């Protein structure tokens, strides 16, 4: 077995370019020392990050500015909200121990919820990067240490999963420090506390991810879905327990006591979220030694978590990778013939020309057979249903009709924004992806316009049905009048037609033919522009209808306004305003649909593939 013989010699006349002989032995150079290996990985990351930044500054300034401005606005809004909230609590609760108890409960619940989310997000990100990326397949074929490859991806996962936490957590903690007039070291300790805190759930997520793929690679998705379902169920149950209070006793001492009692689950002494809130509250109170003690506790646990994850990766990562990639692709055979639902849909859409219907049906099939596409949408849809169903538990109906109307229009705007993320994420990239596959569609006897219109009808159907249903649910739970329901349904229709027009039109005008991934296409300049245009459009349409409706309903509910109505023909003026608002939103909807579609059709006709 070990006897080795030289094989056939080089054919005569060929130039020998490899150094001859002796090179069959392993190279004399040794393995890279761990610290040099770490530096090589950091250099790799730094170079790639510098290139991305340089490219963004050169080619995606609009997107970069938009991200920075929107993040700053979100940060500022959160800071202002938190500042106001903490001042309200400070002013409202004079009794110091109760005040501390409330803050502890608020921090405990907030950081506890973020901790659970960080476990999931880091676990899911790590699963994708450790087991599904082509980069890890490349790195694992190199003589790099397995733990280094894991650590490289773990650090990325920590960064990716925690930026949202920093964006949400930092304004709140900063606002608290200002309101509580905390000493300087509170602000100094904030960052180390946050970093140490992030590491603990991230290590937990990594351990869970490795364990699931190592022990049950075949059932990993089922376990993940069960975990997400359990988490959502737990969140819904907790929210129910917290908000399901007796109506009419809001902000009374008894209400506070009950709420604190219900939030006590977040104050387990073994929870890192409790260490974080306790450490920061000790710093606020001027007890820096206790605060540093909590920081030391958190840091040691973070380091232990990291060490455990690294040790586990050393033993489990490669076998888990091999086990996962040993799972064959399961072929799902479908019944021959058209499914009943598809046949029904084709029949229902009979007024639309057949080629467009068939194209829209093809898009629907692709969409529903790709869970990655619809699962995110379904989660947000489900959360909104959960919120709307529980609107009455949130005691909105104790207020006057103006509040109910305002909440109903805010709900409409939220549903519109959800639909705009759907059209940006799924509809906008469709024409780019279709253009990449144009060898298939382009050879068929259908016009390019028909391709574009099919996308429009698909987008319209895909947004109108859930949008109208969600808003109807919200209106029913809020108990608004039939006039408001009709107004909302009309607004929904205007919104959906416009959103479909914007997404399809800009998708055709600004296609990205280089990218394969819909999410990357959506994240580019065209996708960002679609999202911004859609958001502005939603705000304008909702404001045009909501403001006159608000005043119209307010005058009918308030006695003071009734006097005003009777005196100067105010009612007629309000009806005119309501009519003008509706006409305005209709005109805006027509413009938002026709202009982008016309631009898109012209561009798509001229597009070369």
Partner 1 sequence: MIQFADVARSYDGKVAVDGLTLEVRRGELFALLGPNGAGKTTTLKMLVGLLRPDCGELRICGREVVDDRRHAARSIGYVPDEPFLYEKLTGREFLAFVAEMRGLDRSAARRRIDRETARFRLAPFLDDLTETYSHGMKQRVVFASAVLHDPPVLVIDEPMVGLDPWSVRMVKDLLREAAAAGRTVFMSTHTLSVAEEIADRIGIFHRGRLHFLGTVDELRQVRRSHDASLEALFLELTEEEAGPV
- Which residues of the chain form contacts with partner 1 (CB under 8 A)? 1-2, 4-11, 14-27, 29-32, 36-37, 40, 43-44, 47-48, 51-52, 55, 134-135, 137-138, 140-145, 218, 318-319, 321-322, 325-328, 330
φ and ψ at 261, to 5 degrees? -65, -40
Tell me whether residue 18 or residue 439 sits nearer to partner 1 (CB atom).
Answer: 18
Give the shortest CB-53-to-partner 1 separation in angstroms: 10
Give the shortest CB-178-to-partner 1 separation in angstroms: 40
Tell me whether residue 44 or residue 354 sits nearer to partner 1 (CB atom).
Answer: 44
Tell me whether residue 36 or residue 365 sits nearer to partner 1 (CB atom).
Answer: 36
Closest listed residue to residue 503, CA positions, set 446, 452, 434: 452
The string of DSSP codes covering 422-435 is HIIIIIHHHHHHHH
Give the shortest CB-266-to-partner 1 separation in angstroms: 41
Tell me whether residue 27 or residue 443 sits nearer to partner 1 (CB atom).
Answer: 27
Tell me whether residue 9 or residue 96 sits nearer to partner 1 (CB atom).
Answer: 9
Instruction: Judge contact between 522 and 424, C-beta under 8 A.
Output: yes
The C-alpha torsion from 98 through 104 and 108 to 109, rounded to 10°, is 40
Give the shortest CB-155-to-partner 1 separation in angstroms: 16
Give the shortest CB-12-to-partner 1 separation in angstroms: 11
Sign of CA dihedral 575, 581, 585, 591: positive
Give the shortest CB-203-to-partner 1 separation in angstroms: 25
Tell me whether residue 31 or residue 403 sits nearer to partner 1 (CB atom).
Answer: 31
Distance CA 188, CA 177 (A): 11
- 330's enclosing H/E stretch is none
The string of DSSP codes covering 400-453 is -HHHHHHHHHHHHHHHHHHHHHHIIIIIHHHHHHHHHTHHHHTTSS--HHHHHH
| DSSP annotation of 19 | P
Query: What is each CA distance from 321 to 148, 150, 305, 572, in whole angstroms?
Result: 15, 11, 21, 72
Residue 548 neighbours by CB under 8 Å, 6+ apart: 574, 577, 578, 580, 581
| DSSP annotation of 263 | G
Give the shortest CB-56-to-partner 1 separation in angstroms: 11
- Helix, strand, coil shares of the chain, percent, nearest 5, are 80, 0, 20
Give the shortest CB-512-to-partner 1 separation in angstroms: 13
Give the shortest CB-45-to-partner 1 separation in angstroms: 10
Tell me whether residue 14 or residue 334 sits nearer to partner 1 (CB atom).
Answer: 14
Tell me whether residue 217 or residue 498 sits nearer to partner 1 (CB atom).
Answer: 217
Tell me whether residue 24 or residue 351 sits nearer to partner 1 (CB atom).
Answer: 24
Give the shortest CB-468-to-partner 1 separation in angstroms: 42
Tell me whether residue 56 or residue 251 sits nearer to partner 1 (CB atom).
Answer: 56
Tell me whether residue 23 or residue 347 sits nearer to partner 1 (CB atom).
Answer: 23
Instruction: Judge contact between 483 and 436, C-beta under 8 A.
Output: no
User: 464-499 as b/e, with b when 16 or more CB fall inside 10 Å?
Assistant: bebbbebbebbbebbebeeebbebbbbbbbbbbbbb
> Could you identify the residue written with the tokens 């140490």?
196
> Could you identify the residue written with the tokens 């506790």?
297
Give the shortest CB-159-to-partner 1 separation in angstroms: 16
Query: What is each CA distance from 43 to 37, 133, 310, in whole angstroms?
Result: 10, 20, 21
φ and ψ at 131, to 5 degrees? -115, -20
Tell me whether residue 25 or residue 96 sits nearer to partner 1 (CB atom).
Answer: 25
Closest listed residue to residue 463, CA positions, set 506, 430, 415: 415
Tell me whether residue 25 or residue 91 sits nearer to partner 1 (CB atom).
Answer: 25
Residue 240 neighbours by CB under 8 Å, 6+ apart: 390, 393
Instruction: Judge contact between 209 and 118, C-beta under 8 A.
Output: no
| DSSP annotation of 252 | S
| DSSP annotation of 183 | -
């Amino acid at each position: 077995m070990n006897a080795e013989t030289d094989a056939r010699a080089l054919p005569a006349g060929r130039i020998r370019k490899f150094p001859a002989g002796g090179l069959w032995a392993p190279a004399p150079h040794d393995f890279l020392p761990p610290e040099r290996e770490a530096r090589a990985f950091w250099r790799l990351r730094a170079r790639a990050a510098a290139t991305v930044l340089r490219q963004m500054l050169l080619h995606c300034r609009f997107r970069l500015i938009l991200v920075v401005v929107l993040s700053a606005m979100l940060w500022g809004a959160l800071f202002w909200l938190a500042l106001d909230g903490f001042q309200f609590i400070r002013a409202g609760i004079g009794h110091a121990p109760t005040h501390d108890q409330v803050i502890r409960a608020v921090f405990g619940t907030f950081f506890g919820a973020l901790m659970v989310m960080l476990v999931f997000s880091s676990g899911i990100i790590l699963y994708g990067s450790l087991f599904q990326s082509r980069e890890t397949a490349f790195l694992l074929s190199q003589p790099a240490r397995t733990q280094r490859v894991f650590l490289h991806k773990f650090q990325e996962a920590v960064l990716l999963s925690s930026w949202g936490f920093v964006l949400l957590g930092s304004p709140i903690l900063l606002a608290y420090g200002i309101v509580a007039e905390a000493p300087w070291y509170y602000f100094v300790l904030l960052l180390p506390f946050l970093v140490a805190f992030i590491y603990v759930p991230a290590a937990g997520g990594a351990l869970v991810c490795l364990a699931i793929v190592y022990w049950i690679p075949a059932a990993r998705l089922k376990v993940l879905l069960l975990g997400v379902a359990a988490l959502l169920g737990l969140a819904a149950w907790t929210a129910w327990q917290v908000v399901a209070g007796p109506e009419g006793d809001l902000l009374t001492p008894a209400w506070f006591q009950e709420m604190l009692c219900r939030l006590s689950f977040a104050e387990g002494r073994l929870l890192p979220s409790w260490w974080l809130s306790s450490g920061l509250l000790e710093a606020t109170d001027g007890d820096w030694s206790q605060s540093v003690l909590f920081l030391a506790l958190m840091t040691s646990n973070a380091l232990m978590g990291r060490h455990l994850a690294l040790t586990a990766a050393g033993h489990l990562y490669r076998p888990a990778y091999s086990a996962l990639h040993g799972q064959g692709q399961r072929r799902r055979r479908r019944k021959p013939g058209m499914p009943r639902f598809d046949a029904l849909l084709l029949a229902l859409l009979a007024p639309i020309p057949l080629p467009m219907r068939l194209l829209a049906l093809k898009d629907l099939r692709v969409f529903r057979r790709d869970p990655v596409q619809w699962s995110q949408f379904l989660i947000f849809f489900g959360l909104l249903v959960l919120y709307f169903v529980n609107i009455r538990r949130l005691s909105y109906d104790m207020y006057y009709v103006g509040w109910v109307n305002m909440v109903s229009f805010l709900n409409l705007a939220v549903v519109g924004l959800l639909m705009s993320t759907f059209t940006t994420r799924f509809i906008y990239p469709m024409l780019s992806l279709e253009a990449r596959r144009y060898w298939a569609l382009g050879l068929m006897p259908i016009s390019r316009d028909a391709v574009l219109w099919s996308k429009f009808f698909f987008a319209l159907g895909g947004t109108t049905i859930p949008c109208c249903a969600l808003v109807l649910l919200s209106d029913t739970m809020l108990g608004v009048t039939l006039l408001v329901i009709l107004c909302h349904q009309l607004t929904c229709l205007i919104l959906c037609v416009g959103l479909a027009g914007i997404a399809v039109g800009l998708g055709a005008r600004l296609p990205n033919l280089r990218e394969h991934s819909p999410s990357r296409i959506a994240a580019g300049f065209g996708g960002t522009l679609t999202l911004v245009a859609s958001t502005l459009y939603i705000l304008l349409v909702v404001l045009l209808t909501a403001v006159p409706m608000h005043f119209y309903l307010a005058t009918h509910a308030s006695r003071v306004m009734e006097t005003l109505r009777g005196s100067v023909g105010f009612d007629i003026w309000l009806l005119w305003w309501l009519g003008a608002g509706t006409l305005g939103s209709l005109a805006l909807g027509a413009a938002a649909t026709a202009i982008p579609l016309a631009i898109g059709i012209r561009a798509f006709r001229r597009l070369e593939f």
